[in-house]
Amino acid sequence: MNKEDFFEQLNQSELPSVIDFWAPWCGPCRSTKPILDQLAKEFAGKVNFLAINADDHPDLIRELKILGIPTVMTVDGKKQISRMTGAQPPASYRLVFETLAAGDEISAMPVSQRDRFMRLGIGAMLVILAWMYATWWLLPIGLIVMFWGIYDRCPIWRAITGYFKSKVNS
């Protein structure tokens, strides 16, 4: 498939598309491929799934500015919705397919529980260190790291980012 055929196929699809950019030599790609193939079968008819071998289509990889593999991109018609680079937990991929199948908008890529707890823990340690050693410059850094662990669940953050997205898109 050349890049013209690829873009034509996306433009003609009435369904949202999930595109997996992978390579046979890539270890993380080999671990995510069965997950994505299973989800593609499960959501057939609701979500269009394409697997693109990066080695066979280097011009397409350059055109789309794919900087690492595996990369999973979601597209609705001509518009790119989201992009995930690197192996993700199966729950993240499932959430993407479920959200697209339901016709909902992907607002933020999901944060795994492990990442959430790591961010909250590291942020809390920085806040404690700032308090114990009176290094107050660590306090805002710790609070920012903690917020990074919960930002996707914060309604104020969603309202602010939604406002700016609407301004940028209009």
Give the tens place of pLDDT for each residue, 60-74: 999 889 999 999 999
- Structural domain boundaries in the chain: 3-102, 113-169
Q: Which two tokens stand for residue 100?
A: 């697209």
Concatenate the DSSP letters of all residues of the chain into one string.
Answer: --HHHHHHHHHH-SS-EEEEEE-TT-HHHHHHHHHHHHHHHHTTTTSEEEEEETTT-HHHHHHTT--SSSEEEEEETTEEEEEEES---HHHHHHHHHHHHHT----SPPPPHHHHHHHHHHHHHHHHHHHHHT-TTHHHHHHHHHHHHHGGG-HHHHHHHHHHHHHHH-
What would be the CATH architecture of the domain defined by 3-102?
Answer: 3-Layer(aba) Sandwich (3.40)
Enzyme catalytic residues: 26, 29
What's at 48, amino acid-wise? N
pLDDT band, very low/low/confident/very high, at 118 (cuts 50, 70, 90): very high
Residue 124: is its pLDDT beyond 80?
yes
